Each structure stands twice: as C-alpha cells, then as structure tokens.
Chains A and B, each alone.
Chain A
Amino acid sequence: MTLTHPSALPATDPNDWRDAVYELFRASAIRQVVYVPDAGHTRLIDRCHADPDMHAVVLSTEEEGVAHLAGAWLGGDRGVMLMQSSGVGNCVNMFSLLAACRLPFVTLVTMRGEWGEFNPWQVQMGRTTPDILKISGLTVHRVDDPADVAETVDSALRIAFDGSQGVAVLLSQRLIGRKDFTAED
C-alpha cells in the first residue's frame, strides 16, 4: 500500500502542540482517528498513520466519520475525528446518532473563514460552525493560544469518554495560521 505520509517521522517536539495532541491520543487509548484532511492537521494525521496501534482512516465526507466512530465505540474503540470547519455542515443529520444513542464523540475542527481569510467561500461555515455544533448538542471548546491546546483536548476527551457526551474543539484560524494563497503549497 502506498501512503503519502513519511515513513520516518521526527521525534516528539514538546513545543509543538500537534505532537502534544498526538501524545494525548496515545495516553487516552485513542484507537481510531478518522479525518477529512486539513493543512492544519497534517502533522497530527501523519503521526497517527505512522502509529501501528491506531487506525487512521481517510473519509469521503465528514458525516461518514460520525457513523464510523459510533461503530468503533460499539466495538470498544475510542476514536476522534479531525476535520475543518467546512466539514461540520456535512455532519448535521448524522449528529442525531450521537443524541439518539448518547454516544461519546470528539472532533478537532480547524477553523477557516474567521481570521484574515482570503477565500470568501470559506466564510459562511467559519461563521456558523460554533452555533451548528451547539444546537446539535455538542459541547464546544475553542482554542486561540498554542499553549492551551493540549489541556483543552484533554478536557474534551474526558467529557466525552467519561460521560458519553459529544465535544468539539475549535482550533482557531489565528492558532493554525491563515492559508497563504501566494506561495506554492
């Protein structure tokens, strides 16, 4: 199988919040990480792919991930979904599964369209994502400072898996850095 992630990754950098989140996933026994990619999640996705104890699963659409993680939980696996704010809208009907079955669910959402956004097509979901998550019954944490990421994700994992709740962590566009449309990427 050909995967695009690097075969050898650098060791954990204690100053990199993405590495801190990965270590938290390991410490919290996260076994399935499902995602529709975002540039802000790249390093975390790479690390999950490289981990033989995790299934890293790329999805065709984010709503798939809600159902996928419901199945994972029914089978005894903890999971997390990584997506960007545009994906939240794709999940809305599938979020009813979380409410109907009172399932634990954690998603880390990289925000677009809220800070210095170049692409106006991203702005709508950037604006509506927090409210959509809240009215869908999820608890929403937001992070702007890299120093707060690990602690916030830890809180989300505890709320979700200790109490069968849905939690979303919004990683703000200021934190991620806005996408540069002038450089080769």
Chain B
Amino acid sequence: MSAALLDRRDVVARLLADRRDLLVVSGLGSATYDCAAAGDDPRNFYLWGAMGGTAALALGLALAQPTKPVLGITGDGDLLMGLGTLTTIGAQAPANLSIIVLDNEVYGETGEQPTATAHGTDLTAVARACRLNAVDEVADMAGVEALAARLHAGDGPLFANIKIAPGNPEKVLPARDGAYLRDRFRGAVLGDAA
C-alpha cells in the first residue's frame, strides 16, 4: 500500500497521454470531467447520464471495433449500478476492451455518501470471478504507467480498480449534446462511412 492515494486527474491524464487509436467511453460525473480535463478528443464519448451503462456501452463498441483498443472508464457508483455487465463482458471476452474504475468509495456528485466499496466490496475480485483479466492493486504512478501500456496489448478483457484520493477537483465540462457527441465520435472512428 502506498502512503498516499492517487489523484484522479493525474491517473486519467497518464492513461490518455499516449492514447494512439484508443476509443474512450467515460461514465457520468467525475470520470467524464477527468477525460475532458485530460484533453478533449472526438474519440471520447462522454456519458452525462445513463448511469450503470458505461461498461455495457464500451462492450458494444469493442465488439463493433475489434481492431481498436476500447477503454470504459468510470466511477465505482456507476459500475456498481451495472455490475451484472461484468458477467456479460466475461462471457464475450473481447481482447480489445479495458474497464477501469476510479474508486473513491463515495457517490461524489451527491454528497459523498459511501458506496459498497467503502464497506469492503472488492471490485477486482468480482471482475476476476467474472473471468476478466483483473490487474492487482494499482497504487502508484508507475503502476498507472504499466496499465496505460496494457490498454494497447490486446490481452483483455482487462480490468483495473484504482483507489483514488477523495475530493472533487474543479469540474471540466465537455460538450453535453448527445447527438453532437455521437456524430463527432462516429465521424472520427468510421470516417466517410459514418
């Protein structure tokens, strides 16, 4: 265990620093703000709602785009709402899909009420039991660095739960019109076929 929990913005900035052809789906709330803070990109699909849907949306995308790495990045609250999706991902086992949870053990948007992970639910163990390739604790930036490389390795479905420091950094708000986000994402991924 490291002395200090990781900063969510540092983690996401590092994961996306050398993203190459990575496609990103971010869960509502802080994960979406973190991805926007790391630098807007048409290949980011920001969720502003649809809680519980991040991992499922990333799975559908990964099956449609098997030659590109796909990252679903979200908070513990969103993953817990759609926890059954881990069973679906394990059964489909797409090698190009990674799910990363920024686990602050609270519902950060609504007053910091503790989630089940604050009471000991071990999402890494859950993911492993669903047959995802779950990495062990990512406790420092060297671990984040290694994880960033794994996103492109094609040995998924990869899963990582990263314990992050409490607190809400300044909100960085990306576009929130869904039809606009849809069109620019499809344009970036599919080109003229969009």
Bound form: Cα–Cα A66–B51 in Å: 12
Other-chain contact of A72, B60, B178, B181 (Cβ < 8 Å): B60
Collect the chain A residues with CB atoms within 8 Å of residue B50's CB.
67, 70, 93-94, 96-97, 100
Collect the chain B residues with CB atoms within 8 Å of residue A75's CB.
23, 60-65, 189-190
Collect the chain A residues with CB atoms within 8 Å of residue B179's CB.
100-102
Let me know if B57 and A71 touch, CB within 8 A: yes
Let me know if A101 and B181 touch, CB within 8 A: yes
Let me know if B178 and A102 touch, CB within 8 A: yes
Let me know if B60 and A77 touch, CB within 8 A: yes
**Closest residue of B by beta carbon distance from A76:** B190
Q: Looking at chain A, what size class is its interface with the partner chain?
A: 20 to 34
Q: Is A74 an interface residue (CB 8 A)?
A: yes
Among B45, B53, B91, B181, the most chain A Cβ lie within 10 Å of the Cβ of B53
Query: Which of the candidate stretches A51-59, A167-175, A177-185 sits at the interface with the other chain?
Result: A51-59
Let me know if A64 and B61 touch, CB within 8 A: no
Other-chain contact of A32, B52, B63, B189 (Cβ < 8 Å): B63
Q: Is A79 an interface residue (CB 8 A)?
A: yes
Let me know if A58 and B91 touch, CB within 8 A: yes
**Closest residue of B by beta carbon distance from A69:** B60
**Closest residue of A by beta carbon distance from B93:** A1
Bound form: Cα–Cα A66–B63 in Å: 15
Q: Is A43 an interface residue (CB 8 A)?
A: no
Bound form: Cα–Cα A75–B62 in Å: 8
Q: Is B135 an interface residue (CB 8 A)?
A: no
Collect the chain A residues with CB atoms within 8 Å of residue B107's CB.
none
Let me know if B45 and A74 touch, CB within 8 A: yes
Residues of A within 8 A of B (CB): 31-32, 34, 55, 57-61, 63-77, 79, 93-94, 96-97, 100-103
- What are the nearest 3 A-B pairs in CB distance? A75-B64, A71-B60, A60-B84
23 inter-chain pairs at a CB distance below 8 angstroms, sorted by A residue, are A32-B63, A32-B64, A57-B59, A60-B85, A60-B88, A63-B52, A63-B53, A64-B56, A66-B53, A68-B57, A70-B50, A70-B57, A71-B62, A75-B65, A76-B64, A76-B189, A76-B190, A79-B60, A93-B49, A93-B52, A100-B50, A101-B178, A103-B182
